[in-house]
Structure 1
């Protein structure tokens, strides 16, 4: 390529924008084409949230009072407040569209907003030079393609847009656009699982600005307060439950600060390089080497003072991993036992800031390479393209291609056959599941005694524990998993462990199931749905009714009646 053509290529920012938008469109298109054959994340998604939206819509309690319960789940002991607020955008998507279409729209909204938010932040405040448009677009594109927790919506990927808006308000730029941004973002993100950490960090930024300028910076202060109040109004259910409910929940027994010092230090570096499953950044493969090379150049050129942002991003990125890791250090536990909110609220989640920080760091690192030498500009572009290539396998249709599709997972036809066979109104009997997630039965309208929720009565957890006590006694890891967390209120079996994906092709068999069937009966349990055969069913007062096997389902379901 001639030098003049290369210069022209580097200046075509609008072309890069169109190209980036086309890539994002292709990224989310499969949901709308494949529909029920689309693949998607299972953990904290298909096994929970997607089913919750359907249960909530079917319950008639979407707009229920703060005292309402969900009859379908755990004998009606699950509070309506355990589910998302009716004012969340994702709730409305699942209310008005078929599930996979709603999911696809959520992916599209989140990724396009993430792209434009990061692009605007970089263009206005970080990478301002006109000839570096390719860096802005590439960094914004890679940021928008990172895996994210779908039900978090813009909780992490919306942070650059929010930061752009707050900086505008700080410097009196684009005022009305910024006020609209911080007004609307709370309706498509979460406070407790994202923006609490961003806004508290903005509070620190405000304080620094006050000290630096010796002015009150009231506009910035009130804009942060304004956005916080909108979140609290939207999440009124969770606020009421956390602050005013006197009933103990399963969160009261959370005991997760149990790492010794060596494990804690190991976790620092594990989190630093690999991140958390809800905010993956694919940092170590391209971004870390790029940032390290840029750091070497800064040291070589003695540009410490000129690159304060670059150095600050490096430090913030590492310190957030330190904070996350030491939150689980066992030395915290005595204090957590005395101050309940330290157990009921996970303050380690400042790591949600890392995706934004890491991709700004990536952009600044590319800029340093770009400015070092004209020949290095091609290297900067190459690193950007490599990061796109690294992210491609994270697309859900590729990453989860060996997992059940949406339709296979929820197996609607198979469960319709089960309901027809039982031939009773679903509200007249209760089921539990073994070897598959209770969310599947819940999605199909069955009333379940088991569930996956982080907020349900502690008394129910203790009552349910009686059913699985004999199995928990066989396996300490499984016992600790339930007793010290209990979010998965499942029928655990020591032979299966914490595994819930046994397909119809599995050869796994439960040989020595040991349940307290009397406790199951007392709670109203009538049927067990198992994805594997139970050899000693008779010893557990279980009678095999029928085996269900649909070609469109991932599972072979063994229906056992409690006798």
Structure 2
């Protein structure tokens, strides 16, 4: 028995060794638990709370209900559908446990997908293919994927492998390929990446049809099947577009994209060399030079690495399109066609990690095969890239930047004290937060008039603007930020700018907060949670109640009642 175990272990050591590295990478979540430092932006300040609130509501299968915890009734279609696997993770587990399970799924699917993609389609037949594919796959799996994106980016290599397999094998395609193809949509986002990915696969199908004059029915069926499942999964979005005419979302007033040509060029260069906060690739130090070396090797050996060049060319186009989308010249089209204003087509750049690491794998294959001591160089490059990416793990990265841990950010024990002090049912009053993300209060069960959501009624945005109008007027940056985008429906303070998390270590004071408490009362506001003392609270009809702090929380909350 043990000899068989040893034999299998040695046979698949190119798989289990990277998997052990991934487990070590993930270990802080399991060891530290909720004391782990994790991403705040577009994560703790939003998505985690959205899933939590939805999982605790009775609106999971509702079409047109409203979540009362947020802005006096957040429309149901502003939240994920009941067919989203992430929602069910939050239903079955506590928020942090669901978060960790999702992180684990992302990493191992990313590894498996990139390994299969390289080994089966681009490095097949070469010496050391399995080890090389596994090394690049490990690098890809260590990327700091946007957590709430689930498999939207991490699953792209697997999706490409599935489609290329169906394209190649046709009727001989194993059933497991079809099963994976039909399951993936439930744990990934159509509007974030797959609308663009499926568009690209559709173009590949059209190219095949033009080139071979043969209609590949199964390949077309695969594309149509995945697209159909995405549409079914996003039935709330489809329903809101087709039938919900009463709900005019705040996105209708988006007014983004005012860069001149120099700004567009700078954005293109920055994205091509550094990527975006939601799809960091860390390709500048190792991957890009490796691709250039492989290109030089190809010219020296008199062959052209077409697939590698195609991967780089795609990334050039992705960065270019991303930058051009914010060019002021496109305002003419955006002002004429609402879809161009409300849907962010610049998200196409989220496909770039797939092509950078695909290009990296092909480049390493060229060096491995055609360069003296190439195998040594390849492993040095893979190990170096692995070390770079290992440091991007959430605990390693955010512990150094003083980002709060999961427990510290939500400070549940502190807000439980506030709830107890107020002494009423949380549904009986409404609160807003100053110097704090509204998500903190929402996580702790409070009903908030402020929020951060991707969609909410435009009429409510206008009503809420009356509360903060004077503060916006004092800061052109905040005014532009709110009026042209506005998804962060926050209690903006001109003196604080875009800073929304102040701890008890801060010595800031709000000497002249200029908010319209009458407008706040009209919305139903009763209390203000402030991370900073409001010196002029009496002048704006706020009654100071008391401060709250404890050893477990980095926050000090000043509680004010609206008189």
TM-score scaled to structure 2, two decimals?
A: 0.96
Are 1:138 and 2:129 matched, yes or no?
A: no
Instruction: Report the Cα offset of residue 134 of structure 1.
Output: 2.1
Structure 1 match to 2:179: 180
Are 1:69 and 2:44 matched, yes or no?
A: no
| Cα separation, 2, equivalents of 1:13 and 1:548 | 59
Kindly indicate whether the alpha-carbon contact (under 8 Å) linking 1:472 and 1:494 is maintained by their aligned counterparts in 2.
yes
Structure 2 match to 1:210: 209
Structure 2 match to 1:524: 524
Kindly indicate whether the alpha-carbon contact (under 8 Å) linking 1:31 and 1:104 is maintained by their aligned counterparts in 2.
yes
Structure 2 match to 1:170: 167
Moved over 4 A (4+): none
| Cα separation, 2, equivalents of 1:524 and 1:39 | 35
| Cα separation, 2, equivalents of 1:119 and 1:354 | 17
Distance 1:132 1:374, change over 3 A: farther
Kindly indicate whether the alpha-carbon contact (under 8 Å) linking 2:252 and 2:342 is maintained by their aligned counterparts in 1.
yes
Q: Which deviations, in whole Å up to 9, do the C-alpha atoms of 1:151-177 show, x marking residues without a partner? A: 110001111111111111111253312
| Residue of structure 2 aligned with 1:29, choices 20, 27, 30 | 27
* Unpaired stretches in structure 2, ≥5 consecutive residues: 1-9
| Cα separation, 1, equivalents of 2:317 and 2:473 | 40
Q: What number of residue pairs does the alignment pair up?
A: 548
Instruction: Report the Cα offset of residue 28 of structure 1.
Output: 1.6
Farther off after superposition, 342-351 or 235-244: 235-244
Kindly indicate whether the alpha-carbon contact (under 8 Å) linking 1:285 and 1:390 is maintained by their aligned counterparts in 2.
no
Cα RMSD of the aligned pairs, angstroms, is: 1.1
Structure 2 match to 1:462: 462
Structure 1 match to 2:543: 543
| Cα separation, 2, equivalents of 1:100 and 1:318 | 37
Kindly indicate whether the alpha-carbon contact (under 8 Å) linking 2:56 and 2:91 is maintained by their aligned counterparts in 1.
no
Q: Which deviations, in whole Å up to 9, do the C-alpha atoms of 1:20-65 show, x marking residues without a partner? A: 000111112221221110111001110001111111122221222x
| Cα separation, 2, equivalents of 1:347 and 1:13 | 45
| Residue of structure 2 aligned with 1:111, choices 107, 112, 133 | 107
Kindly indicate whether the alpha-carbon contact (under 8 Å) linking 1:438 and 1:450 is maintained by their aligned counterparts in 2.
yes
* Unpaired stretches in structure 1, ≥5 consecutive residues: 1-11
| Cα separation, 1, equivalents of 2:380 and 2:191 | 38
| Cα separation, 1, equivalents of 2:302 and 2:361 | 20
| Cα separation, 2, equivalents of 1:50 and 1:509 | 30
Structure 2 match to 1:345: 343
Structure 2 match to 1:19: 17
Structure 2 match to 1:157: 154
| Cα separation, 2, equivalents of 1:416 and 1:481 | 33
Secondary structure, aligned partner of 1:545: strand
Instruction: Report the Cα offset of residue 130 of structure 1.
Output: 4.2
Instruction: Report the Cα offset of residue 13 of structure 1.
Output: 7.0
Instruction: Report the Cα offset of residue 14 of structure 1.
Output: 2.3
Kindly indicate whether the alpha-carbon contact (under 8 Å) linking 1:13 and 1:134 is maintained by their aligned counterparts in 2.
no
Kindly indicate whether the alpha-carbon contact (under 8 Å) linking 2:71 and 2:450 is maintained by their aligned counterparts in 1.
yes
Secondary structure, aligned partner of 1:91: helix
Structure 2 match to 1:407: 407
| Cα separation, 2, equivalents of 1:302 and 1:317 | 24
| Cα separation, 1, equivalents of 2:485 and 2:81 | 24
Q: How does 1:305-454 map to 2 (within 5 A)?
A: 307-401=305-399, 402-454=402-454
Instruction: Report the Cα offset of residue 506 of structure 1.
Output: 0.8
Instruction: Report the Cα offset of residue 554 of structure 1.
Output: 2.1
Instruction: Report the Cα offset of residue 431 of structure 1.
Output: 0.2
Instruction: Report the Cα offset of residue 100 of structure 1.
Output: 1.4
| Cα separation, 2, equivalents of 1:354 and 1:377 | 27
Structure 2 match to 1:99: 95
Kindly indicate whether the alpha-carbon contact (under 8 Å) linking 2:55 and 2:88 is maintained by their aligned counterparts in 1.
no
Are 1:271 and 2:271 matched, yes or no?
A: yes
Structure 1 match to 2:192: 193
Kindly indicate whether the alpha-carbon contact (under 8 Å) linking 2:119 and 2:129 is maintained by their aligned counterparts in 1.
no
Structure 1 match to 2:491: 491
| Cα separation, 2, equivalents of 1:487 and 1:550 | 32
| Cα separation, 1, equivalents of 2:185 and 2:176 | 15
| Cα separation, 2, equivalents of 1:131 and 1:396 | 32
Instruction: Report the Cα offset of residue 243 of structure 1.
Output: 3.8
| Cα separation, 2, equivalents of 1:26 and 1:550 | 33
Kindly indicate whether the alpha-carbon contact (under 8 Å) linking 1:30 and 1:38 is maintained by their aligned counterparts in 2.
yes
Secondary structure, aligned partner of 1:75: coil
| Cα separation, 2, equivalents of 1:548 and 1:342 | 46
Secondary structure, aligned partner of 1:325: helix
| Cα separation, 2, equivalents of 1:114 and 1:146 | 9
Structure 2 match to 1:233: 232
Kindly indicate whether the alpha-carbon contact (under 8 Å) linking 2:150 and 2:188 is maintained by their aligned counterparts in 1.
yes
Instruction: Report the Cα offset of residue 384 of structure 1.
Output: 0.6
| Cα separation, 2, equivalents of 1:426 and 1:130 | 65
Instruction: Report the Cα offset of residue 216 of structure 1.
Output: 1.2
Q: Which deviations, in whole Å up to 9, do the C-alpha atoms of 1:498-555 show, x marking residues without a partner? A: 1012111111111111011110111111110011111111111111101000211121
| Cα separation, 1, equivalents of 2:503 and 2:173 | 54
Secondary structure, aligned partner of 2:22: helix
Secondary structure, aligned partner of 1:539: coil
Are 1:79 and 2:75 matched, yes or no?
A: yes
Secondary structure, aligned partner of 2:527: strand
Instruction: Report the Cα offset of residue 264 of structure 1.
Output: 0.2
